């Protein structure tokens, strides 16, 4: 047990290997931060869509009118649901959208393959 906490001297090869590993990590770090930033923007976009679905103007849901005029947006959301990286966000948006009767009818009557 006496040598348990002693650090053994590192050879120059160990130092070079560790430095290389740290440089690789340092080059990768901005990408991971960028992906976290993208993830945050995706969550924000999902929340915006969800809030717009519930927005009322003079006691009328404006999203319902919008979807009736632009029902092809459902096709885009359903295709996006097939993307495994984004399926969670597209699924949340789809759930919010199908609360509207006209959208739910369109999704149920359309044959997606």
27 vs 91, more confident = 91
Q: Give the pLDDT confidence score for residue 18 in this predicted structure.
A: 72
Contact 102, 71 (CB under 8 A): yes
Record the pTM: 0.59
pLDDT digits (tens, 9 = 90+) for 2-60: 555 666 776 777 776 776 676 666 556 555 666 666 676 777 777 877 777 777 788 87
Q: Is residue 46 a contact partner of residue 92, using CB atoms and an 8 Å limit?
A: yes
Domain boundaries, the chain: 12-109
Would you state the pLDDT for residue 20? Answer: 67
d(CA 28, CA 64): 44
Residue 52 · residue 63 · CB < 8 Å:
yes
In which band, very low, low, confident or very high, does the pLDDT at 63 lie, cut at 50, 70 and 90? Answer: confident
Per-residue pLDDT band at 84 (split at 50, 70, 90) = confident
């Amino acid at each position: 047990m006496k040598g348990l906490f002693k650090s053994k001297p590192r050879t120059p090869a160990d130092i070079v290997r560790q430095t290389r590993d740290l440089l690789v990590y340092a080059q990768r770090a901005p990408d991971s931060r960028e992906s976290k930033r993208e993830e945050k923007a995706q969550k924000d976009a999902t929340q915006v869509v969800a809030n717009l679905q519930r927005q009322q103007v003079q006691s009328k849901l404006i999203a319902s009118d919008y979807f009736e005029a632009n029902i092809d947006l459902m096709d885009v959301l359903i295709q996006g649901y097939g993307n495994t990286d984004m399926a969670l966000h597209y699924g949340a948006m789809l759930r919010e959208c199908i609360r509207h009767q006209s959208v739910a009818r369109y999704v149920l009557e359309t044959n997606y393959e």
